[in-house]
């Protein structure tokens, strides 16, 4: 039995845009920009987006959030092009991704809490908690020897839905879709991990 997930949408997009990302990443590497610098810029930019969202500047915050997606895509590419991806760099990237995602939901949650919008708060919490559980399920599975990347709403899908929803000024709709999709994905990973571990024990 296979011990890893099928190819995901994120994998396909990574292959599709490989040439573009490598061209930009190579340029930045040649000018002395480090992958970790790109990671930290991304976190900082998402914090700025969160502040804008907290003040109700939804479209502006969405545009900043959308722009920061490029930094998230480039740090790993740059590390691979240098032929020296480090354990620390991978760890920093993973933790920063979680902070970047959660701080944006935090900004939205604050905004809707201040305006007594029940659904805004509920969906912000649902999207944030679902996103954490998707990542946790993969990490916990990995600690048991199973590579589990499967899922309807991995980070790329969540990023695309939220960025589009923010730029079009439909944040509650976007968060509602993510809340449902992320929790569904977490459950997908639970069942897939069970399948893998069961096959390993047979």
pLDDT for 98-150, tens place per residue?
Answer: 999 999 999 999 999 999 999 999 999 999 999 999 999 999 999 998 889 88
Q: State the pLDDT at residue 7.
A: 66
The CATH number assigned to the domain holding 69 equals 1.20.120.1760
Residue 91, number of CB atoms within 10 A of its CB: 10
77-109 confidence digits (pLDDT tens): 888 888 877 788 888 888 999 999 999 999 999
Q: Is 160 domain-assigned? A: yes
The candidate with the shortest Cα–Cα distance to 127, out of 185, 70, 167, is 185
What three-state secondary structure class fits 8? coil
Residue 155 in domain: yes
Domain that holds residue 98: 9-201
- The pLDDT value recorded for residue 6 is 56
Tell me, yes or no, whether 54 lies in a domain: yes
Which pLDDT value is given to residue 135? 93
Residue 169 lies in a domain: yes
What single string gives the DSSP state of each residue in 58-70? HHHHHHHHHHHHH
The answer to whether residue 4 is domain-embedded is no
Span 20-34, mean pLDDT? Answer: 87
Has residue 156 been placed in a domain? yes
Does residue 15 belong to any structural domain of this protein? yes
Mean pLDDT score, 172-183: 98
Q: Give me the mean pLDDT over the 32-59 stretch.
A: 94
The tally of domains found in the chain comes to 1
pLDDT at 2 over 50: no
Burial 117-147 (b: 16+ CB within 10 A, else e): eeebbbbbbbbbbbbbbbbebbeebeeeebe
Residue 1: pLDDT band with limits 50, 70, 90: very low
Residue 79 lies in a domain: yes
Q: Give the mean pLDDT of 53-58.
A: 98
């Amino acid at each position: 039995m296979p011990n890893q997930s099928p190819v995901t949408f994120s994998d396909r997009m990574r292959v599709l845009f490989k040439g573009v990302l490598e061209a930009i990443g190579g340029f930045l590497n040649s000018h002395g920009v480090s992958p970790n610098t790109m990671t930290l810029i991304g976190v900082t930019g998402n914090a700025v987006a969160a502040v804008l969202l907290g003040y109700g500047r939804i479209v502006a915050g969405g545009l900043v959030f959308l722009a920061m997606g490029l930094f998230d895509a480039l740090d790993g590419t740059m590390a691979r092009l240098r032929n020296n991806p480090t354990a620390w760099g991978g760890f920093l990237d993973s933790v920063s991704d979680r902070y970047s995602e959660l701080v944006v939901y935090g900004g939205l949650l604050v905004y809707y809490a201040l305006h007594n919008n029940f659904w805004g708060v509920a969906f912000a919490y649902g999207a944030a908690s679902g996103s954490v559980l998707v990542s946790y399920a993969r990490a916990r599975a990995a600690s048991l020897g199973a590579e589990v990347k499967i899922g309807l709403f991995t980070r790329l899908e969540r990023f695309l839905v939220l960025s589009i929803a923010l730029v079009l000024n439909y944040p509650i709709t976007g968060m509602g879709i993510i809340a449902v999709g992320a929790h569904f994905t977490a459950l997908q990973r639970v069942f897939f991990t069970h399948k893998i571990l069961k096959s390993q024990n047979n």
